[in-house]
């Protein structure tokens, strides 16, 4: 029952633990602990403290593991169930790890499990961690294959490190030149997308403040010219028209026939790298002026991608920060005045009252902003829930604590009640400039909502009621704007300079990784090759380049290895002696590696007395040449070996 302990046992367990550990977060909570128990069992068995289970027990365990996965996932296939299955089977294999072959299977399984980690996360940190895990796995592989038995683990680690370092150039060549398919090679399971965060085509009280708690990056922007001031950075997203008393909904999704606007200042050019959010919006500064490829601009200036953004996307944009929109269609006028048939009576009353007092729509808007500013409104990330049937009334005349969606929403209701066309615009405001990378990072926490009112002669005018309550929100960002006792999520706090630099550095690293590694698709490959002077490379040319690159690298490695070997090439006497030994090996007299020449000659003489004189003469000549002061007769040795016929 007790198994022979492989020397590399504990390192194998350690390496597998390294590989499997990240799965503890993604898999069902019982899977990784169960595998860990099996690993511990194997460890105890290796130390002679436990026996390994028998065949029937293992079979029962395997069946229960399958049943457990079926019960948890309803299938044995797919990403989660598949990885759980591999993890558990690896654990079971540990329990029958008895010999070299089992260890080899486990090492290969370990390599495969390294790859499965990228199903769950492709961040640069996981990549570095998995590189370390690969190194550990390779160390084990070197260990179980080391000729002449076991060495100190540092010796194996050094060799494994050298092998991986030699593989790096080949990896780079394959990465750069291997032909990329236009689409992904396999579809990622849908469950990985459902959790994506971002703005949607609906807005209700609390939806944006919820989003603001996420630190996830929404997009990164590189400006061609100077960075516009923060208070001008309104990143336009879904535009809301329809209000049902509580929720706002977007209206336009189709392409606009003509965009009617007049630019009042110079264009701002920039490139956005948008993180996938599984919705069609491509965010752009107010007012977007160009349409990226495979996208459209709606009449209310939303930029929509043809398909939901499921992969990181990069697009160049041009915007005009000062503009005047022209013309209001009758449909837009009707939509922008819509209010539900009933509800929120006090708000409507207030709007009508203002309109009665002030004829000018602009004055009404200003009056509303004064209302927000002068009454006791508070800007907070955790507003009280508005549960009554008239949430806008409750907010404006009751709680008076709200986040941007409360202010924007209630403002538009007030305007519409006063008969002024108005709509809600959601998106992001501001962003954090990363001086290290020279780009702006916009996070989900920068999500914002504001309003637009139609003023005759000026078109759609942006009004941000949140700015009236909390001017710092728009000027300095969300963290500065929230009042002190508000529970600010940790990441929003402004930290010490070096911590901020660290954050910038990590974000820069991640951004670069996303841009140059993860988003390296066919298009970018073509661009890169073009920049390297290969023009539009065809499939065949790329294959040829790939082969040539790999062959070149292999040739370079071979050259260095052969050169080393030539340096360590055995001297002529040794070569002649080896021929002699080879001849004897053919008749069953093999020299043991640790056997000295005289001992071997004595053994030969004892086994084959007829060979004794020849063997002794050859050995004497060889010993003189190899161990003597250097005055041996090489020609004679060669002659004798040549004539030696065992």
Partner 1 sequence: MKNRELTDRVAAYAGSVVLGKERQIRLALACLLARGHLLIEDQPGVGKTTLAHVLAKALGLAFQRIQFTSDLLPADILGISVYDRDSAAFKFHPGPIFAQLILADEINRATPKTQSALLEAMEEQQVTAEGDTRRLPEPFFVIATQNPAQQIGTFPLPESQLDRFLMCIALGYPDRQAERALLQGVDRRELIEGLEPCLTAGELKTLQTAVREVTVADALLDYLQALIDHTRQSPRLQAGLSPRAGLALLHAAQAWALMEGRTLVLPEDMQAVLPSVAGHRLRPHARYGDLSREEMVAELLQVPVP
Cα-to-chain-centroid distance, residue 451? 35
- Residue with smaller CB distance to partner 1, 151 or 312: 151
Among 59, 125, 150, 582, binds partner 1 (CB under 8 A): 150
Part of the chain binding partner 1 (CB under 8 A), chosen from 64-72, 106-114, 310-318, 594-602: 594-602
Residue 404 catalytic? yes
- Residue with smaller CB distance to partner 1, 329 or 574: 574
Among 624, 637, 640, 641, binds partner 1 (CB under 8 A): 624
633 binds partner 1 (CB under 8 A): no
Query: Catalytic residue among 26, 156, 277, 448, which?
Result: 448
Best CA proximity match to 409, nearest among 425, 420, 394, 397: 425
596 binds partner 1 (CB under 8 A): yes
617 binds partner 1 (CB under 8 A): no
Residue 571 catalytic? no
Among 17, 196, 227, 623, binds partner 1 (CB under 8 A): 623
Task: Provide the minimum distance between the beta carbon of 618 and partner 1 in the complex, in angstroms, as a whole number.
Answer: 15
Query: Catalytic residue among 201, 286, 446, 464, which?
Result: 464
Which strand ranges, in their side-by-side order, compose the sheet holding 439-443?
A: 313-320, 267-274, 217-223, 439-443, 432-434
H or E element, residue 379: strand 378-379
- Maximum separation of any 2 CA atoms in the chain, in Å: 130
**Burial of 244 by CB count in 10 Å (0-12 exposed, 13-18 middle, 19+ buried)?**
exposed
Cα-to-chain-centroid distance, residue 101? 35
Among 595, 616, 617, 636, binds partner 1 (CB under 8 A): 595
Among 189, 266, 628, 642, binds partner 1 (CB under 8 A): 628
9 binds partner 1 (CB under 8 A): no
Please tell me the distance from the alpha carbon of residue 32 to that of residue 27, in angstroms, as a whole number: 7
508 binds partner 1 (CB under 8 A): no
| Structure tokens that stand for 373 in this block | 């500013």
Residue 581 catalytic? no
Tell me the pairing of strands 378-379 and 401-402.
Answer: parallel
Confirm if 466 and 407 have CB atoms less than 8 A apart.
yes
Task: Provide the minimum distance between the beta carbon of 19 and partner 1 in the complex, in angstroms, as a whole number.
Answer: 23
Bridge partner list, 296 = 304
629 binds partner 1 (CB under 8 A): yes
Task: Provide the minimum distance between the beta carbon of 6 and partner 1 in the complex, in angstroms, as a whole number.
Answer: 13
Among 182, 588, 593, 609, binds partner 1 (CB under 8 A): 593
The DSSP line for 444-468 is: GGGEEEEEEEEETTTEEEEE-HHHH
151 binds partner 1 (CB under 8 A): yes
46 binds partner 1 (CB under 8 A): no
Give every CB contact of residue 395 below 8 A, 6+ residues apart in sequence.
Answer: 205, 386, 402, 406, 410
**Burial of 357 by CB count in 10 Å (0-12 exposed, 13-18 middle, 19+ buried)?**
exposed
Task: Provide the minimum distance between the beta carbon of 593 and partner 1 in the complex, in angstroms, as a whole number.
Answer: 3
Give every CB contact of residue 485 below 8 A, 6+ residues apart in sequence.
Answer: none
598 binds partner 1 (CB under 8 A): yes
- Residue with smaller CB distance to partner 1, 151 or 260: 151
Task: Provide the minimum distance between the beta carbon of 591 and partner 1 in the complex, in angstroms, as a whole number.
Answer: 9
| Structure tokens that stand for 418 in this block | 């006063």
Instruction: Map the footprint of partner 1 across residues 155-184, applying CB under 8 A.
Output: 155
Task: Provide the minimum distance between the beta carbon of 631 and partner 1 in the complex, in angstroms, as a whole number.
Answer: 10
The DSSP line for 1-59 is: -PPPPPTTHHHHHHHHHHHHTTHHHHS-TTHHHHHHHHHHHHHHHHTTSSPPP-HHHHH
Task: Provide the minimum distance between the beta carbon of 607 and partner 1 in the complex, in angstroms, as a whole number.
Answer: 18
- Residue with smaller CB distance to partner 1, 362 or 589: 589
627 binds partner 1 (CB under 8 A): yes
Among 2, 55, 152, 531, binds partner 1 (CB under 8 A): 152
Between 553 and 592, how does the x/- string for binding to partner 1 read (CB under 8 A)?
------------------x--x------------------
Please tell me the distance from the alpha carbon of residue 479 to that of residue 489, in angstroms, as a whole number: 9
108 binds partner 1 (CB under 8 A): no
Residues of this chain that bind partner 1 (CB under 8 A): 7, 148-153, 155, 571, 574, 593-599, 623-624, 626-630
Catalytic residue numbers, as ranges = 404, 448, 464
């Amino acid at each position: 029952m007790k198994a022979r302990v492989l020397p590399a046992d504990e390192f194998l367990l350690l390496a597998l633990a390294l590989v499997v550990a990240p799965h503890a977060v993604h898999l069902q909570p019982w899977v990784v602990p169960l595998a860990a128990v099996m690993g511990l069992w194997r460890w105890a068995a290796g130390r002679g403290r436990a026996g390994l289970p028998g065949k029937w027990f293992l079979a029962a365990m395997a069946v229960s593991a399958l049943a457990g996965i079926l019960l948890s996932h309803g299938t044995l296939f797919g990403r989660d169930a598949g990885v759980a299955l591999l993890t558990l089977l690896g654990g079971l294999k540990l329990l029958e790890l008895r010999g070299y072959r089992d260890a080899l299977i486990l090492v290969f399984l370990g390599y495969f499990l390294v790859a499965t980690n990228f199903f769950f996360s492709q961040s640069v940190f996981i990549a570095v961690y998995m590189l370390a895990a690969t190194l550990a796995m390779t160390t084990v592989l070197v260990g179980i294959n080391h000729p002449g038995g076991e060495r100190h683990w540092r010796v194996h680690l050094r060799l494994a490190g050298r092998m991986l370092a030699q593989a790096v150039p080949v990896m780079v060549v394959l990465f750069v030149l291997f032909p990329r398919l236009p689409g992904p090679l396999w579809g990622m399971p849908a469950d990985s997308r459902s959790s994506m965060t971002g703005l949607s085509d609906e807005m209700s009280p609390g939806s944006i403040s919820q989003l603001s708690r996420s630190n996830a990056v929404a997009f990164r922007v590189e400006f061609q010219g100077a960075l516009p001031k923060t208070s001008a950075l309104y990143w336009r997203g879904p535009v809301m028209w329809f209000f049902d008393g509580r929720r706002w909904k977007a209206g336009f999704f189709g392409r606009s026939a003509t965009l009617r606007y007049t630019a009042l200042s110079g264009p701002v050019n920039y490139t956005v790298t948008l993180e996938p959010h599984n919705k069609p919006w491509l965010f752009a500064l107010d007012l977007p002026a160009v349409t990226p490829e495979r996208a459209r601009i709606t009449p209310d200036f939303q930029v929509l991608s043809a398909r939901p953004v499921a992969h990181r996307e990069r697009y160049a944009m041009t915007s005009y920060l000062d503009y005047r929109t022209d013309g209001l269609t009758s449909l837009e006028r009707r939509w922008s005045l819509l209010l539900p048939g009933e509800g929120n009576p006090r708000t409507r009353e207030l709007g009508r009252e203002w309109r009665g007092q002030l004829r000018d729509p602009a004055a009404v808007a200003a009056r509303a902003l004064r209302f927000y500013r002068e009454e006791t409104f508070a800007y907070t990330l955790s507003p009280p829930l508005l549960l009554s049937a008239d949430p806008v009334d409750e907010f404006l005349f009751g709680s008076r604590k709200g986040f941007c969606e409360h202010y924007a929403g209630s403002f538009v209701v007030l305007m519409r009640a006063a008969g002024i066309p108005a709509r809600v615009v959601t998106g992001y405001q501001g962003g954090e400039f990363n001086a290290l990378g020279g780009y702006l990072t916009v996070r989900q926490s920068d999500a914002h909502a504001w309003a637009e009112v139609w003023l005759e002669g000026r078109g759609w005018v942006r009004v941000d009621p949140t700015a009236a309550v909390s001017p710092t929100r728009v000027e300095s960002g969300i963290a500065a704007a929230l009042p002190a006792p508000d529970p600010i999520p940790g990441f929003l706090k402004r930290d010490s300079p070096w911590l901020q630099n660290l954050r910038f550095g990590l974000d820069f690293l991640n951004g670069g990784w996303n841009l140059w590694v993860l988003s390296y698709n066919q298009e970018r490959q073509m661009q890169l090759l073009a920049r390297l002077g290969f023009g539009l490379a065809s499939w065949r040319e790329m294959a040829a380049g790939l082969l040539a690159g790999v062959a070149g690298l292999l040739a370079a490695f071979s050259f260095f290895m052969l050169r080393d070997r030539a340096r360590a090439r055995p001297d002529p006497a040794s070569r002649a002696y080896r021929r002699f030994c080879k001849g004897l090996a053919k008749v069953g007299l093999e020299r043991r590696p640790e056997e000295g020449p005289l001992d071997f000659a004595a053994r030969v003489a004892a086994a084959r007395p007829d060979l004794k004189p020849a063997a002794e003469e050859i050995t004497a000549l060889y010993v003189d040449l190899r161990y003597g002061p250097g005055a041996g007769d090489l020609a004679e040795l060669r002659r004798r070996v040549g004539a030696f016929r065992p």
